[in-house]
Chains A and B, each alone.
Chain A
Amino acid sequence: DQQVKQNSPSLSVQEGRISILNCDYTNSMFDYFLWYKKYPAEGPTFLISISSIKDKNEDGRFTVFLNKSAKHLSLHIVPSQPGDSAVYFCAASDLQYNNNDMRFGAGTRLTVKP
């Protein structure tokens, strides 16, 4: 049973526009959320994270929003660049129970067109 879901397998946006990637989770005990980015033939790399005590975290062009009541988070990339084209994974963990057991979504493939 997938506790972290990314319902959009792919997203295509124009360079310079905003990319919004969405993620939903079912386990209300999750209290830490991360986004990873993955290029072909490479391992995922950490992008940005957010704790459940916050509703927003920003790092340069990347902002993650958390809506706990809806069990939903989103990653905004503004402005999008062709180099952002990659697969983005949402991940979540329950720091109190077992921070080692991180659950990942299936990923969203972002294509940024020049």
Chain B
Amino acid sequence: NAGVTQTPKFQVLKTGQSMTLQCAQDMNHNSMYWYRQDPGMGLRLIYYSASEGTTDKGEVPNGYNVSRLNKREFSLRLESAAPSQTSVYFCASSDEWGLARNEQYFGPGTRLTVT
């Protein structure tokens, strides 16, 4: 059981470049999330997907798009990267039943630098 996996682990982009961060989970969870973590800010929700085929905006969605490819995979795309998107990105998943739906399982993170 790998849990939540993310690729790549590190990435450096130039301003204006695009890239896709990949996330996959093997726990058969319905809900998946993308967060960014910045110093002094904690984790902020970018987008989430409550079930396969649905996506919704979180607290800081601007500049990002997401795709829920299937139940296992949830990708985050930066179409035109900006230095303000330099951050550590975490993917998470959770079960849908009862209070367990709040107990999110996180991947190891992707450290992205935009120059």
Contact = CB atoms under 8 A, between A and B. Distances in A.
A106 B41 contact: yes
B42 A104 contact: yes
A59 interface: no
Contacts of A34: 102-103
Contacts, number: 65
Interface residues of A, number: 28
Interface string B1-43: 0001000000000000000000000000001010100001111
18 contacts: A9-B40, A34-B102, A41-B108, A42-B108, A43-B90, A45-B105, A45-B106, A49-B102, A93-B102, A95-B102, A99-B101, A101-B58, A101-B59, A102-B45, A102-B102, A104-B44, A105-B42, A106-B40
Interface of B: 4, 31, 33, 35, 40-45, 48, 50, 56, 58-59, 90, 92, 99, 101-109
